[in-house]
């Protein structure tokens, strides 16, 4: 089928903005909507199609906006609703869609819904959240009286005692983020109404945060304690994706009917999909088949979130094992090949910088950033670029605990040290894996605060901004920025890049990342550097990681049909300029070759 007949999202690239760290227009040290509008030319120059805004709603900011107290407003920190309207209009004028981050697994404890819910046991909104009495035979409010032993993602128990009614409410994350009860149809209707309001205002769609957590395994029960000496069970990850976990997801889109994708029939409410069968058929990607995805209605993409951890857990830092990374990426490519569409990302607001996590952020920072971008963008799926990734931004050199701002990192430090962990080792883990690494200000130029603000930034700017910044990248034709720009152009001009099949080669090779499809008509290759051949390891990075880093890759694809048609981009005034040939090799900085087999 012609390349132009493919759905628009198959050749699109999404750019995520973390508003408080992107651009500050009024000098208060916090990024805002007007600042984003003023930098839209940067996104247009890069060539992205969709702007994803992290939360800008009114919020106490306990979790930097992911604790929403009003779903139909803009926090004064970021501006006003008219400021958002202007941003949407200016983005659309450049052919860029706007997607808003939406958190409906939980609200802030200051949201009017929860204020009503906690006021009394017979309040009409009591059942909008998860309330449970203390464990039988215990004293309410005392340690160990929580209804279950579940551990929060932000450390400590998932149950918070509320003295007003003498019961506990569930919070999988912060105690100021109580979980909504999606079993209650009134909750669903309220969320759908709110989503329609935003769509009618001009928003193009939503990124649904932690949507896999909406349903809870009922009745709540204790989980298995994962390690000796631990107090909390490891049940939250399993039980939060429990019975009928994904049934609320499909009707969460107010204009998408509930259908069985394989047969095109409506599925009766309460009928859970056979996830065990699909897990056997498609491996760990099986559960994603039951998330909203384009082949099942064309309105959503499952966001892959199963990159291998550096060790046994988030804070257990170990060197990258390339074979584990290939298993993870290859599993999702294969599992969704015939039935879905992947969201592809290295970075986001919850992850450390990929060039530090998977590459070498010292001598080989530019080469590593280009290589990582090439590997990702030559996979089948829709790539996501997180602000600063296109510059090769790296982790920040946080010196002390006082430099961190993230509630997850601060809670983990207190919890781990209280259990006897070495404070220096905990700090080292925070520096490597902490979410604040993604939240340092965008580096626009070499000025004192990187052009982010004329005031004092809410979190320190990475000192490397003197060399790593957008102004310098735009002036250098061999920069990471221009490499990303050419990769993005390839998705529109070379059908095999966006629509080709994917087969992992050399899955057990610890150095080479290679893929191909037999019978391919286009081959893209990245050659190894003469100083870092595939048979040799690159130098150990300054962060102290040992072992090999991927020094070369091959990606070969064959165009395959993708159903649906491609609508025009909003406000688009014409096609973008053709790419200036294939992308520069991330290792050699030379043009990669294209040849028919």
Question: Over the stretch 139-161, which tens digit does the pLDDT of each residue have?
Answer: 999 999 999 999 888 888 999 99
- Lowest mean pLDDT across 10-24, 244-258, 300-314: 244-258
pLDDT of residue 407: 82
pLDDT of residue 496: 83
Evaluate if residue 342 carries a pLDDT over 70. yes
CB 462 within 8 A of CB 443: yes
Q: What is the pLDDT of residues 423-452, one digit of tens each?
A: 998 888 888 888 999 999 999 999 999 999
User: Considering the chain, what percentage of its residues have pLDDT values greater than 70?
Assistant: 71
Per DSSP, what are the bridge partners of residue 151? 157
Q: Which domains does the chain have, with CATH numbers?
A: 3-105+185-222+234-396+469-557 (3.20.20.80), 107-179 (3.90.400.10)
Going by pLDDT thresholds of 50, 70 and 90, the confidence category of residue 279 is very low
What number is the average pLDDT over the span 589-594? 27
Q: Peptide bond preceding 222: is omega within 30 degrees of 0, i.e. cis? A: no
Evaluate if residue 300 carries a pLDDT over 60. no
Evaluate if residue 405 carries a pLDDT over 70. yes
Quote the strand ranges of 151-214, DSSP E. 159-162, 167-170, 205-209
Evaluate if residue 575 carries a pLDDT over 80. no
Evaluate if residue 296 carries a pLDDT over 60. no
Q: Does residue 279 or residue 129 have the better pLDDT?
A: 129
pLDDT of residue 6: 79
pLDDT of residue 500: 83
Going by pLDDT thresholds of 50, 70 and 90, the confidence category of residue 472 is very high
Evaluate if residue 461 carries a pLDDT over 50. yes
Give which of 236, 205, 210 is closest to 223, Cα–Cα.
236
- Lowest mean pLDDT across 221-235, 245-259, 295-309, 314-328: 245-259
Evaluate if residue 464 carries a pLDDT over 60. yes
pLDDT of residue 302: 53
Evaluate if residue 594 carries a pLDDT over 50. no
CB atoms within 10 A of CB 304: 21
What number is the average pLDDT over the span 201-211? 93
Tokens representing 305? 């979130």
Evaluate if residue 26 carries a pLDDT over 90. yes
CB atoms within 10 A of CB 456: 10
Q: What is the pLDDT of residues 522-541, one digit of tens each?
A: 444 443 333 333 322 232 33
Evaluate if residue 497 carries a pLDDT over 90. no
Going by pLDDT thresholds of 50, 70 and 90, the confidence category of residue 223 is confident
What number is the average pLDDT over the span 29-42? 97
Q: Does residue 571 or residue 70 have the better pLDDT?
A: 70
Q: What length does the chain have?
A: 597
CA distance 446 to 178: 42
Going by pLDDT thresholds of 50, 70 and 90, the confidence category of residue 4 is low
pLDDT of residue 301: 57
Q: Does residue 188 or residue 306 have the better pLDDT?
A: 188
Highest mean pLDDT among 1-10, 450-459, 534-543: 450-459
Evaluate if residue 286 carries a pLDDT over 60. no
Evaluate if residue 235 carries a pLDDT over 70. no
CA distance 90 to 330: 38
CB 258 within 8 A of CB 250: yes
Going by pLDDT thresholds of 50, 70 and 90, the confidence category of residue 388 is very high
Going by pLDDT thresholds of 50, 70 and 90, the confidence category of residue 546 is very low
Chain-centre distance of CA 33, in angstroms?
Answer: 20
Per DSSP, what are the bridge partners of residue 512? 552
Give which of 505, 529, 345, 303 is closest to 438, Cα–Cα.
345
Q: Mean of the per-residue pLDDT values for the chain?
A: 77
Going by pLDDT thresholds of 50, 70 and 90, the confidence category of residue 208 is very high
What number is the average pLDDT over the span 269-278? 37
pLDDT of residue 236: 38
CA distances from 313 to 116, 153, 435 (A): 37, 12, 15
């Amino acid at each position: 089928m012609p390349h132009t007949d493919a759905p628009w999202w198959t050749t699109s690239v999404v750019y995520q903005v973390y508003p408080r760290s992107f651009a500050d227009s009024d000098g208060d040290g916090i990024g805002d909507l007007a600042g984003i509008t003023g930098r839209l030319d940067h996104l247009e120059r890069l060539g992205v199609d969709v702007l994803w805004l992290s939360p800008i709603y009114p919020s106490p900011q306990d979790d930097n906006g992911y604790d929403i107290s009003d779903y139909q407003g803009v926090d004064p920190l970021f501006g006003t609703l008219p400021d958002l309207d202007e941003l949407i209009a200016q983005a659309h004028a450049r052919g860029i869609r706007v997607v808003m981050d939406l958190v409906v697994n939980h609200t802030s404890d200051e949201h009017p819904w929860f204020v009503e819910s906690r006021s009394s046991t017979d309040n009409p909104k009591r059942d909008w959240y998860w309330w449970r009495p203390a464990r039988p035979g215990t004293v309410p409010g005392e340690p160990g009286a929580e209804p279950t032993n579940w551990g929060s993602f932000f450390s400590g128990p998932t149950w918070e005692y509320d003295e007003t009614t003498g019961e506990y409410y569930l919070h999988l994350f912060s105690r100021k983020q109580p979980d909504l009860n999606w079993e209650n149809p009134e909750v669903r209707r309220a969320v759908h109404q709110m989503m329609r309001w935003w769509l009618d205002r001009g928003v193009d769609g939503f990124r649904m945060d932690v949507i896999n957590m909406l349903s809870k395994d009922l009745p709540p029960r204790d989980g298995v304690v994962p390690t000796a000496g631990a107090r909390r069970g490891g049940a939250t990850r399993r039980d939060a994706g429990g019975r009928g976990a994904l049934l609320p997801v499909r009707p969460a889109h107010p204009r998408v009917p509930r259908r069985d994708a394989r047969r095109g029939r409506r599925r009766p409410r309460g009928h859970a999909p056979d996830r065990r069968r699909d897990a056997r058929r498609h491996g760990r990607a099986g559960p994603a088949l039951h998330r909203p995805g384009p082949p099942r209605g064309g309105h959503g993409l499952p966001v892959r979130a199963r990159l291998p951890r550096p060790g046994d857990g988030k804070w257990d830092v170990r060197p990258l094992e390339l074979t584990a990374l290939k298993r993870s990426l290859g599993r999702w490519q294969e599992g969704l090949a015939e039935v879905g569409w992947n969201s592809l990302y290295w970075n986001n607001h919850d992850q450390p910088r990929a060039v530090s996590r998977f590459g070498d952020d010292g001598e080989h920072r530019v080469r590593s950033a280009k290589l990582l971008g090439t590997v990702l963008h030559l996979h089948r799926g829709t790539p996501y670029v997180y602000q600063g990734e296109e510059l090769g931004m790296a982790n920040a050199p946080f010196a002390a605990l006082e430099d961190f701002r993230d509630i997850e990192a601060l809670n983990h430090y207190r919890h781990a040290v209280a259990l006897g962990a070495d404070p220096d080792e905990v700090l080292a883990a925070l520096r490597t894996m902490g979410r604040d690494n993604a939240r340092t200000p965008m580096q626009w130029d070499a000025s004192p605060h990187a052009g982010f603000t004329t005031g004092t930034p809410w979190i320190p700017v990475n000192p490397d901004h003197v060399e790593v910044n957008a102004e310098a990248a735009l002036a250098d034709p061999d920069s990471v920025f221009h490499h990303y720009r050419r990769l993005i152009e390839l998705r529109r001009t070379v059908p095999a890049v966006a629509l080709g099949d994917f087969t992992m080669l050399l899955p057990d090779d610890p150095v080479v990342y290679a893929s191909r499809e037999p019978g391919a008509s286009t081959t893209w290759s990245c050659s190894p550097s003469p100083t870092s051949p595939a048979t040799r390891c690159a130098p150990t990075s300054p962060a102290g990681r040992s072992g090999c880093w991927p020094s070369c890759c091959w990606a070969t694809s064959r165009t395959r049909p993708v159903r649906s048609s491609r609508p025009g981009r909003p406000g688009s005034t014409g096609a973008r300029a053709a790419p200036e040939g294939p992308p520069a090799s991330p290792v050699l900085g030379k043009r990669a070759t294209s040849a028919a087999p």
